[in-house]
Structure 1
């Protein structure tokens, strides 16, 4: 397994409580959330993000693609948390 860090962390909200926010900074962490902790309905981008993260862990993909896919999946599900850089 080749776990790697994202260049820039991303964050998503756990829908069940609405209060838990995961700050995701590693590919394995993103894969764990996508596979085991995803509380939103999975969509096409969720499937793509799972594949992208698993590819990186197998040494077959680029970290930046996995992060982009994870962010897009979280946005599609409505659980992406965008931090205000000034706040």
Structure 2
């Protein structure tokens, strides 16, 4: 279940990275949130961590986890909006 894919990637730019990273699975999101997140004091960050821990692998649960991850990325200032790629 850890490698369950999201419906679409969330693009983030991590500190020091030249290009955005595409986060396209529960496992990738969890790895970033638990091991390499730039700001760990926000409520959206805490919510995204809980979403990863509680995700049951269903489509609805994955969609919620993706949304929570995206909001945490926005809160941390690392979200790359979709229009970046158009």
Render the CA deviation track for 1:8-67: whole Å, top value 9, x for unaligned. 11011112x1525221000011000000011234310000001101111xx277000000
Structure 1 length normalisation: TM-score?
0.82
Question: Does 1:8 find its partner at 2:1?
Answer: no
Match of 2:36 in 1: 37
> Which ranges of structure 1 fall in alignment gaps of 5 or more residues?
none
Structure 2 length normalisation: TM-score?
0.83
Q: Relative to structure 1, is the Cα distance of residues 9 and 18 closer, same or farther in structure 2, using a 3 angstrom cutoff?
A: same
Q: Relative to structure 1, is the Cα distance of residues 55 and 84 closer, same or farther in structure 2, using a 3 angstrom cutoff?
A: same
What is the total number of aligned residue pairs between the two structures? 83
Match of 1:83 in 2: 82
Does the 8 Å contact 1:13/1:20 carry over to 2?
Answer: yes
